[in-house]
Amino acid sequence: MMEILNMRAYAKINLGLEVIGRRDDGFHELVAVLQTVSLYDEIAVAPGPALTLRCDRKGMSGERNLVWRAADLLQKESGTEQGAVIDLMKTIPIAAGLGGGSSDAAAALRSLNDLWALELSTTRLAELASQLGSDVPFFLRGGTALATGRGELLESLPTPEGQWLVLVSPDIRLPGKTPALYGRLGPDDFTDGSETAKLADALRGGGVLPEECMANAFERVADDAFPGLDRHRNAMLEAGAERVHLSGSGPSLFALVRSKSAGDALRLRLGGLGYHGVVVQTVTAEE
Ligand code: C5P
């Protein structure tokens, strides 16, 4: 029987994202806390004569997808002559600040490392992952992590388990979204990372999430960059969210809720206002 490996590629949110400043290499220095949540894409890999990527989302098959680039990189680095047929089922909204593309790429590295029996070490996979994007190394393990550098230096943190959230991903497209958002940041948006360090300390201590420490450097510029974002934020507040946070460079928004039923209630009220919310839970590195 042909071997097929299936894997989930979870989305992430940023519980904190402070930008310290711009670096000489064009990237920005970050202090961030990343958290995987129970919204996921699915990837299946099977042996094939060459590399093929099929995706259920229009325009996302083939060589431009980060998954294909991950497979190509792994093939080149390992020198393997094996190919693969890769199927990608997208659920995570695209370019939304939820890390979907990065998570898919990390899942491709892990599953192809297994399929091709390459036995590349976690360290080597992490090096390849960081060539694909700043967030990709995080997704090799998922769960909760403090990220520094350009996002690739990681320290695992205990997951605030069973934390429910409601996600809203406004369908606001922005070409070259991530660089464009970083490009909008100025010295006023740069902070020293101390709020996020406090957040990480609280998680290390196993305490509840201190929401007052959940800062995001993109909050100031996001409303200008994403026309209509404030409408979504206001709808969440009107529907009963206590606080609304931006994930990554946006435009996804999320609110912490006390339970699944509180999340469902918020989602229903949002629906009544004409907005689509998704109720998710934090996911640990083991899941
Ligand atoms: O690493 P990734 O490919 O996700 O980054 C996309 C773009 O986002 C970079 O080219 C850069 O413009 C910006 N970026 C940044 N600082 C980071 C991460 C990303 O300026 N730490």
Q: Say if ligand 1 is within 6 A of residue 20 CB.
A: no
CATH topology classification for 164-281: Alpha-Beta Plaits (3.30.70)
The predicted model gives 257-275 an average pLDDT of 98
> pLDDT tens digits, residue range 194-242?
999 999 999 999 878 999 999 999 999 999 999 999 999 999 999 999 9
The domain segmentation of the chain, as residue ranges, is: 5-157, 164-281
Among residues 36, 98, 49, 37, the alpha carbon closest in space to that of 75 is found at 49
Token pair 């699944």 in the structure block, residue:
260
Which ligand 1 atom is the nearest neighbour of the CA of 30?
Answer: 21
Domains 5-157 and 164-281 share a fold: no
Domain range 5-157, CATH class: alpha beta
Would you state the structure tokens that stand for residue 34, as one six-digit string? 């990343």
Predicted TM-score (pTM) of the model is: 0.96
Q: Say if ligand 1 is within 6 A of residue 182 CB.
A: yes
Taking the centre of ligand 1 as the mean of its atom positions, its distance from the CA of residue 13, in whole angstroms, is 16
- Choose one of 22, 25, 28 to mutate for the ligand 1 pocket test, by most ligand atoms within 8 angstroms of C-beta: 28
Using a pLDDT cut of 70, give the percent of the chain over it.
100
The 3 state secondary structure assigned to 28-68 is EEEEEEEEEEEEEEEEEEEEECCEEEEECCCCCCCCCCHHH
The predicted model gives 147-171 an average pLDDT of 97
User: What is the rounded CA–CA span in Å between residue 54 and residue 52?
Assistant: 7
User: What is the rounded CA–CA span in Å between residue 268 and residue 181?
Assistant: 31
For residue 181, pLDDT beyond 80: yes
Q: Say if ligand 1 is within 6 A of residue 179 CB.
A: yes
Using a pLDDT cut of 90, give the percent of the chain over it.
94
